[in-house]
């Protein structure tokens, strides 16, 4: 199957993918497999593979066969999705999974059985609020910025605190665009 063709190009933020939809049988039901090739990841994986292949003295037949899967993954759905929506949906799902995984991976959260129900409900509420904010930001930013790009850019907005006031440094053009898309105005000073 030739995924890597101009007809299959999908741009998401500043990343470029090839995405091709293929009908498949899902245990007797109609399904759809979305074969995705992440061009940037393919380059990285290919470079690492060539270095390892040279060290391991692999033959060209092994190398050629191994290169076919570099940078590729498959998403399966029981519903047909526009190929332009596959990557944004994938990243939304990944973000939601990461939110739920934060407690285990980074916060050393105790197992659920050791918490009372109020603690669990509070954590789930915060997680859902964060997910709603993420989805709303994604909608507002449309295809101009990804949420990750916007947050990274806005993290560089600085301020200088004096005795009675805080002066916000001049935002960059991208910061102003992001604030505008989100419906906010960057203040010149803060009365903190």
Nearest to 3 by CA among 15, 16, 21, 25: 21
pTM of this prediction?
0.51
Along the 192 residues of the chain, how does pLDDT read in single tens digits? 688 888 889 888 888 899 999 999 988 889 999 999 988 998 888 888 888 877 877 777 777 777 778 888 888 888 888 888 888 888 776 666 666 665 555 445 555 444 556 766 777 787 788 888 888 888 899 888 888 888 888 888 888 888 778 888 888 899 999 999 999 888 888 765
Q: Is the separation of the CB atoms in 8 and 83 below 8 Å?
A: yes
Q: Is residue 33 within 8 Å of residue 76, measured between CB atoms?
A: yes
SS3 4: coil
């Amino acid at each position: 199957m030739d995924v890597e063709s101009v007809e299959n190009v999908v741009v998401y933020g500043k990343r470029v993918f090839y995405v091709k939809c293929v009908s498949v049988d899902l245990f007797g039901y109609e399904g759809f497999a979305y074969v995705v090739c992440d061009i940037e990841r393919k380059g990285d994986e290919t470079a690492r593979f060539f270095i390892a292949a040279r060290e391991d003295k692999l033959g060209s037949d092994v190398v050629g066969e191994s290169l076919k899967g570099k940078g590729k993954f498959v998403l399966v759905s029981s519903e047909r999705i526009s190929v332009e929506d596959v990557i944004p949906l994938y990243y939304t799902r990944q973000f939601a999974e990461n939110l739920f995984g934060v407690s285990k991976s980074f916060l050393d959260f105790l197992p659920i059985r050791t918490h009372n129900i109020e603690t669990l409900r509070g954590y789930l509420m915060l997680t859902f609020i964060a997910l709603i904010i993420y989805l709303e930001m994604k909608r507002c930013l449309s295809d101009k910025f990804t949420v990750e790009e916007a947050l990274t850019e806005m993290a560089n907005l600085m301020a200088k605190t004096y005795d009675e006031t805080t002066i916000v440094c001049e935002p960059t053009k991208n910061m102003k665009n992001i604030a505008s898309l989100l419906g906010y105005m960057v203040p010149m000073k803060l009365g903190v």
